[in-house]
Amino acid sequence: MKTVVLDGTPFLFPGAGVGRVTQTLVETMAQQLPGNLSLRLYARCLRGKTLRCPGLPMTRLRLPKSLEPAMAKVQLIERLVPGDLYHATDHYLPMNHPHNAVVTIHDLLFMIRPNPNFSIHAIQRRLVPPFVKACRHVIVISEQTKKDVMKHLLVPEEQITVIPWAVDETFFTPPEITGFMPGFLPVSEPYFLAVGCNTERKNTPRLLEAYCRSGARSPLVLAWNPPNDIREKYASNKSIHFIGRVTEEQLRDLYRSALALVYPSLYEGFGLPALEAMACGCPVITSNTTSLPEVGGDAVLYIDPENTDSIAHEMKALEESAELQDALQKKGYEQVKRFSWKKTAQATMNVYSQCLEEK
């Protein structure tokens, strides 16, 4: 029996995309484990609520990030949670011997579009490259991320496996009734939806400008608490609604009742909101760059995320065509079928088997 130890730290923050998908991946693998493989979990962080995965032991290390170099030096993780292979599920582990590890790279935002206000990006630029280069194998979630890892981290192609994310098909489902509208919304008609908003790579300020320029009659709902200057700028526009952060259940209901998700991101390692929206029957308008065409296929409307008029034009075109809305919805359902957590889990365990055989 071989044991793989997975970093469950993302579990502590289930509201984030990486947290949600990591938990789903581990739970799915636990359901289809071969008889010669066992999984263990550990998490390292002072913050966050410990979540349990049924049937898998979890070791929680409540230590500050500043102690991670010391953790690596004394092999704390390896001593407290012994295993035959380790899986760094989010870019990095404080290990003394990374050649016993598999690492998942979700994106290289910290290298390609670093935010000087995010201290974590500076830490990642220092720690991630040498760790990844020393790992036994690298998992990436898109062909785009594979290209980025080969270019920026100089990892050879044969050491990389592309294993895309998926959506929970039992949770992200179409509405059961036509014309469904969540009770918590300040609108009662179909709307354009924006999620994962920020003023940097998510490109939300340009989306707001494009919406105002489009002449669209449908409201714009943003699951976002914007900076004061943006809130004040659009305070007089009664068609723009900032509803703040939402729960996963509320997010699903937003997808179900939206006219379309508008996701003009400048950089993605995958683009999970586009897939979630399609699974809920929501048409998608998204960027023609980075990994988003891999996720959207021919089932979405593509825009140039750096061209305000491009975004405005597609929003207006979609609003005015019920036929286009129906076509995108049907194509979206088919596109989602290409992604499966069972396939993702099996492909991940295949990487484990390959690495364990090589040891």
Q: Does the fold of domain 192-336 match that of domain 2-166+340-358?
A: yes
Average predicted confidence (pLDDT) for the chain: 94
Asked: is 192-336 a CATH 3.40.50.2000 domain? The reply is yes
Q: For the chain, which residues make up each domain, given as ranges? A: 2-166+340-358, 192-336
* pLDDT tens-digit series, residues 313-355: 999 999 999 999 999 999 999 999 999 999 999 999 999 999 9
* pLDDT tens-digit series, residues 81-96: 999 999 999 999 999 8
Cβ contacts of 144 within 8 Å, gap of 6 or more? 268, 269, 290, 291, 294
276 confidence band (pLDDT: 50, 70, 90): very high
Q: Taking residues 250-267, report their average pLDDT.
A: 97
Res 15 pLDDT > 70: no
Lowest mean pLDDT, pick from 52-66, 215-229, 262-276: 52-66
Share of the chain above pLDDT 70, in %: 98
Dihedral angle computed from the Cα positions of residues 18, 19, 22 and 25, in that order, rounded to the nearest 10 degrees: -110
- pTM of the complete model: 0.94
User: Any idea what the Cα angle at residue 295 is, between residues 207 and 297, rounded to 5°?
Assistant: 95
**CATH fold for the domain made of 2-166+340-358:** Rossmann fold (3.40.50)
Q: Measure CA of the first residue to CA of the last residue in the chain; give whole Å.
A: 14
Helices (H), 281-320: 292-296, 308-319
